[in-house]
Amino acid sequence: MKASKLISIILISVLLLSSTAIAKDELDPAVKAKYKTIEANLLIGLKSDNEGLRTSCAYYLGEYKSEKAVLYLMKILRDDECYAARIVAALSLIKIGNRQAVYMVQRTSLFNEYEGVRKMSEKFYLSHLMKKYLEEHPEKTNELSYVKF
């Protein structure tokens, strides 16, 4: 059990620290043609029994900002037994930015049974709010640069 938790924590750390700049608009035509296949495979991976595969697919669907993944990620956030998968699902939902997804993360930050999931969801949600505020008020960027979540 401890080894499983340790592996989950290490996996989440690696996923969160690695940053990939994948934007649909900036892909060359050859990759754009394969995008649907990539997205479909990641969606299939979300349904896997393999905890690591599920978590990785959730992360990369967030990087791709896949609107098709929102309902699947919300199900993981709400029902998954693995708290690490729930945290990654919350992060991905915030990255996707869908209003329904952001609302789900906000509610999770208040009512999830796992304290760690609640705390991380709250951090993701507050970061989202700060980002939106700074986009609307760019002159406040220097004043609020000290705020960390």
pLDDT in tens, 52-78: 999 999 999 999 999 999 999 999 999
Instruction: Please report the pLDDT score of residue 114 as a whole number.
Output: 95
- Residue 23 CB neighbour total at 10 angstroms: 10
Q: Is the pLDDT of residue 90 over 60?
A: yes
The span from the CA of 109 to the CA of 115, in Å, is: 9
Residue 144's pLDDT is what? 82
We find that the CATH architecture of domain 2-140 is Alpha Horseshoe (1.25)
pLDDT tens-digit readout, 7-38: 666 656 555 555 444 444 566 787 777 899 99
Band of residue 129 on the pLDDT scale cut at 50, 70, 90:
very high
The answer to whether residues 110 and 88 touch, using CB atoms and an 8 Å cutoff, is no
As given in the structure block, the two tokens for residue 117 are 């999931």
Ordered by start, the domain boundaries in the chain are: 2-140
Average pLDDT on 112-140 reads 95
